[in-house]
Amino acid sequence: MTLHRGRGFASINYPIGMNLGGDPSQALVHSNPDGKFMVALSSIDLGQGMKSVTRQIAAETLGIPVEDVYVDTADSDTGPHCMGSFASRGTHRVGNAVIAAAREARSVMMEAAAQELEVNPDDLVTDGKGNIHVKGAPSKSITTAAACGAAQFKQGRTVSGRGIFLVPLSDVDPDTGEMTPVTCFAHAAMVVDIDVDDETGEVTVIEMNSAYEVGRALNPRLVEQQLIGGAWMGMSHALWETTEPYYPDRIHGPVDFNEYLMPGPGDIAPHHISVLERPAPDGPFGGKGPGEMCANPVLPAVANAVFNAVGVRIDELPITPEKVLRGIAAIGGPQPQPKW
């Protein structure tokens, strides 16, 4: 038995969002009587941080503390329309919609404050701590809560805003075939080191080193969290997961976690990540979003590493021990490729 060390590299461009009949998301923002703001979305947070990021974006745009913002994604029947949390589109599409809605709500809040302070709204600024004051005269101020309260109880205004962000459908040019389906791309590059056991066919991931370019990392810890977890999914897809591991047909497929394989906590490899920030011109505060591309570079990088280790080119996932052994047998024994 010999362990063959291999190194594989892959890089990807990943489109943010999709182009199926247009790609819109909406947001509604309004203040409550206590001066806190509610962001209503139908964009689901399934752990990826939708609520955290839209909360930050709303607070930043409104000019109020992040603690004063609630995000409600409870119900797609009663909330404003969203295409959904997929295609790595959440931060970009929904974030932009939230900015539009928060801007509109902010302008009403500033008008209400101006009326209370008897000044011109254009002379007012927010301090981000819950106060609105006259530019250059911090003592002439009103709290955002008091301004919103006055709007509702004295002035009869709704401190609210509507926002939509739409990337319209890009049709194919009938003459040239050209289209512009995507407004921005995220990027990643990854180097994976593995060991291939030429007796058992097992592939062990030793180390991953990666660089991800995600636009502005609006919440750096959540970005890192996504990248770590997503790379695990990529590793799992490359080497373990499949719904149809056995032939001849689906009926022999896995039906529970005993048969559906995934790497456990003992199978993970050290993963060193660099996050590169190149703000997207059309992104909310420059953000694109990590999303699906967290997992993508791992698969081709692992396949390339297997080739580098034993000279077997496997083009069907997952790269199971059986496929590795059959591949090695087909070329008459392991053929390690040049090392780096």
Partner 1 sequence: MAKKPIQFQLNGSGQAIFAEEGSNLLDVLRRGVGDLSPKYGCGQGTCGTCTVLVNGEPRLSCLTLAETVEGQSVETTAGLAHGPQLHALQHAFMDNFAAQCGYCTPGMLMAAKALLDRNPSPSREEVVEAISGNICRCTGYEPIINAVLAAAQSGGRRYG
* Only segment of 141-149, 197-205, 261-269, 318-326 that touches partner 1 (CB under 8 A): 261-269
Which amino acid appears at position 174 of this protein? P
C-beta separation of 231 from 212 below 8 A: no
* Only segment of 10-18, 44-52, 106-114, 193-201 that touches partner 1 (CB under 8 A): 44-52
Q: How far is the CB of 16 from partner 1 (least distance, A)?
A: 20
Q: How far is the CB of 265 from partner 1 (least distance, A)?
A: 4
> Residues 222, 280, 301, 310: which binds partner 1 (CB under 8 A)?
222
297 touching partner 1, by CB under 8 A: no
C-beta separation of 276 from 288 below 8 A: no
* Only segment of 56-64, 146-154, 170-178, 229-237 that touches partner 1 (CB under 8 A): 229-237
> Residues 24, 121, 181, 229: which binds partner 1 (CB under 8 A)?
229
Laid out side by side, the sheet with 3-15 consists of: 3-15, 185-197, 203-213, 271-276
In 3D space, the residue among 84, 291, 320, 301 whose CA is nearest the CA of residue 203 turns out to be 320
The label of the residue with tokens 């580098």 reads 308
Burial class from Cβ neighbours inside 10 Å (0-12, 13-18, 19+) for residue 184 reads buried
The HSE-up count of residue 25 (CA atoms within 13 Å, CB side) is 29
> Residues 42, 43, 48, 304: which binds partner 1 (CB under 8 A)?
48
Reported in sequence order, the residue ranges of the chain that DSSP labels E, i.e. its strands, are 3-15, 23-31, 37-40, 69-72, 124-126, 131-134, 137-143, 160-167, 185-197, 203-213, 271-276
Nearer to partner 1, 225 or 337 (CB): 225
Q: How far apart are CA 16 and CA 156, in angstroms?
A: 41
Q: How far apart are CA 171 and CA 137, in angstroms?
A: 53
265 touching partner 1, by CB under 8 A: yes
242 touching partner 1, by CB under 8 A: no
> Residues 135, 154, 221, 278: which binds partner 1 (CB under 8 A)?
221
91 touching partner 1, by CB under 8 A: no
C-beta separation of 319 from 240 below 8 A: no
Nearer to partner 1, 32 or 52 (CB): 52
Sorted by sequence, the CB contacts under 8 Å of residue 80 that are 6+ apart come out as 26, 27, 28, 40, 41, 42, 162
77 touching partner 1, by CB under 8 A: no
243 touching partner 1, by CB under 8 A: no
**Tokens in use for 283?**
């992104």
Nearer to partner 1, 48 or 141 (CB): 48
Q: How far apart are CA 260 and CA 56, in angstroms?
A: 38
Q: How far is the CB of 238 from partner 1 (least distance, A)?
A: 14
Q: How far is the CB of 300 from partner 1 (least distance, A)?
A: 19
* Only segment of 108-116, 227-235, 319-327, 328-336 that touches partner 1 (CB under 8 A): 227-235
> Residues 1, 21, 34, 46: which binds partner 1 (CB under 8 A)?
46
Nearer to partner 1, 66 or 125 (CB): 66
C-beta separation of 288 from 277 below 8 A: no
Q: How far is the CB of 229 from partner 1 (least distance, A)?
A: 4
Nearer to partner 1, 116 or 267 (CB): 267
> Residues 78, 139, 176, 258: which binds partner 1 (CB under 8 A)?
258
Which residues bind to partner 1, rule: CB under 8 A? Answer: 46-48, 221-222, 224-225, 228-233, 256-258, 262, 264-266, 268, 271
